[in-house]
């Protein structure tokens, strides 16, 4: 801050991202923001003026990011931009319904986003969407991804299982050394709770998808249950052992996620927690989407899963995107992002047959 005596910090705060003022010699104080949009999730796109005023972007499930300003103490909050007003007036947007459930001593957040148009005469298919990380998190922010699927006739289910950020270090670290264990059980329990609360969802027409760790969990899920009618794994991991030597963060991140031992010291963990180990169990049709310049989860991860399933005669399709990186679904070229949506919707439409 301009006074040189405090820091302005964006911090995960449950299902939100809040702004905090941290004095150099005292406790942090959360700014009381969000009065203009109670469900807003405040991001770290923040600037501080010479007069200590704060400019920040804020978003909620039905509103892409806009710019807001407030005083240094969080008062006099006001919205500066309304860049998306015309677009929002033209499209139909869905909003999520939050629920909380307890499993194995953890209180876990989940959401269900209804299709934009629910036909009372028939139930809708649903997509279970798993976040990456595993230390990422879902919250009350605008997701074009979810709006696309809701607009196409799907309910979207998503949760913050153990490993997610914003709930304290113990919750976030609970996934370390246990990939495919408690985290998978949390996600499946969240799906069951979402279905219990959502009579408009057809439990016999479920899809599953995710990117990065979400792709890993998609691969893992279809190797451990046949309840999904179709799946899409993007930028995924199938063999954690080879991830260590090929990923740009493999020896740091992958090894720490295993609990601290590299594969040459503890090979059993890497085998036991890799979806590829259980590939013979996979019966769910799988769409594999991967960027050829992905350094985070290199494309050999997709190739290994695809070759195994192809050799086993399973229903699998592999789509490679040239000149794109790990985050291309959000930051790639517009034509590739549109093509990605087309492929995914075509894949699920064919197998889940939503009434469109």
Q: What is the pLDDT of residues 230-283, one digit of tens each?
A: 999 999 999 999 999 999 998 888 999 999 899 999 999 999 999 999 999 999
Are 306 and 288 spatial neighbours (Cβ–Cβ below 8 Å)?
yes
Question: What residues contact residue 324 under an 8 Å CB cut-off, 6+ apart?
Answer: 291, 292, 293, 294, 332, 333, 336
Half-sphere exposure of 181 (CA within 13 A, CB side): 12
Q: Which residues of the chain have pLDDT under 70?
A: 37-44, 354-356
Structure tokens at 252: 């740091």
Which residues are marked as active site?
212, 326
What is the spatial distance between Cα 129 and Cα 345, in angstroms, rounded to a whole number? 14
Please give the angle made by the CA atoms of 246, 249 and 250, to the nearest 5 degrees: 50
Q: What is the pLDDT of residue 184?
A: 98
As a whole number of angstroms, the longest Cα–Cα distance in the chain is 66
Q: What is the pLDDT of residue 17?
A: 83
Whether this prediction's pTM lies above 0.85 is answered by: yes
Structure tokens at 278: 């259980």
Q: What is the pLDDT of residue 35?
A: 75
CATH top-level class for 92-352? alpha beta
Q: What is the pLDDT of residues 309-338, one digit of tens each?
A: 999 999 999 999 999 999 999 999 999 999
Give the domain ranges of the chain: 6-85, 92-352
């Amino acid at each position: 801050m301009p006074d040189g005596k405090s820091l302005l910090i964006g911090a995960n705060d449950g299902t939100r991202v809040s702004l905090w003022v941290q004095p150099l010699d005292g406790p942090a104080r959360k700014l009381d923001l969000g009065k203009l949009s109670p469900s807003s999730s405040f991001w770290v796109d923040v600037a501080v003026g010479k007069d200590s005023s704060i400019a920040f972007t804020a978003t909620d499930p039905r509103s892409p990011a806009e710019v807001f300003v407030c005083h240094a103490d969080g008062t006099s909050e006001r919205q500066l931009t309304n860049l998306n007003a015309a677009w929002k007036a033209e499209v139909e947007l869905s909003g999520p319904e939050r629920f909380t459930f307890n499993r194995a001593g953890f209180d876990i957040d989940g959401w269900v986003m209804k299709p934009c148009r629910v036909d009372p005469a028939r139930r809708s298919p649903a997509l279970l969407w798993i976040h990456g990380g595993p230390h990422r998190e879902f919250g009350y922010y605008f997701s074009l991804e979810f709006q696309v699927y809701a607009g196409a006739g799907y309910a979207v289910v998503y949760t913050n299982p153990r490993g997610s950020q914003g709930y304290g270090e113990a919750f976030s670290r609970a996934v370390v050394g246990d990939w495919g264990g408690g985290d998978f059980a949390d996600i499946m329990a969240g799906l069951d709770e979402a279905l219990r609360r959502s009579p408009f969802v057809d439990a016999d027409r479920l899809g599953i998808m995710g990117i990065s760790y979400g792709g890993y969990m998609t691969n893992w899920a279809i190797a451990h249950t046949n309840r999904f009618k179709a799946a899409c794994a993007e930028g995924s991991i199938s063999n954690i052992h080879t991830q260590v030597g090929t990923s740009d963060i493999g020896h740091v991140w992958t090894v720490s996620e295993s609990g601290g031992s590299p594969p040459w010291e503890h090979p059993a963990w890497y085998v036991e927690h890799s979806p590829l180990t259980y590939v013979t169990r996979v019966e769910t049709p799988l769409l594999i989407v991967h960027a050829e310049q992905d350094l985070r989860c290199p494309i050999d991860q997709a190739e290994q899963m695809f070759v195994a399933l192809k050799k086993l005669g399973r229903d699998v399709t592999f789509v490679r995107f040239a000149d794109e990186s790990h985050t291309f679904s959000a930051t790639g070229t517009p034509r590739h992002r549109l093509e990605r949506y087309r492929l995914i919707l075509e894949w699920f439409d064919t197998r889940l047959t939503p009434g469109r």
